[in-house]
């Protein structure tokens, strides 16, 4: 799921970064279908247009800035 979109981003990352630096892009297949100032705006607009799971939202930042850590407040017992 979304492997094609992520591969497109990785294969074209340098060119995309030059053109869309610090923007959130929406990718479907091998095509950019949206450019936004934030991931939140990209999500809000894209879910009104496309089916969930049909698009990838990717922030265009240098590779060293792409590692993110998320923490959950959920406790499993």
DSSP string of 20-36, one letter each residue: HTT-EEEEETTEEEEEE
Task: Work out the pLDDT band at 71, boundaries 50, 70, 90.
Answer: low
Q: Flag whether pLDDT at 18 surpasses 60.
A: yes
What order of strands is seen across the sheet that includes strand 56-59? 31-36, 24-28, 56-59
Q: Where are the domains of the chain?
A: 3-65
Q: What is the pLDDT of residues 26-55, one digit of tens each?
A: 999 999 999 999 999 999 999 999 999 999
d(CA 57, CA 19): 16
Half-sphere exposure of 63 (CA within 13 A, CB side): 7
pTM: 0.79
The whole-number pLDDT of residue 1 equals 79
Contact 68, 53 (CB under 8 A): no
């Amino acid at each position: 799921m979304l492997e094609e979109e992520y591969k497109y981003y990785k294969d074209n990352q340098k060119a995309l970064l030059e053109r869309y630096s610090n923007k959130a892009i929406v990718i479907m297949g091998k095509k950019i279908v949206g450019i936004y100032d934030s991931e939140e705006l990209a999500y809000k607009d894209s879910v009104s247009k496309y089916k969930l799971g049909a698009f990838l939202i990717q922030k265009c930042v240098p590779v060293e800035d792409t590692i993110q850590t998320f923490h959950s407040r959920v406790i499993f017992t």
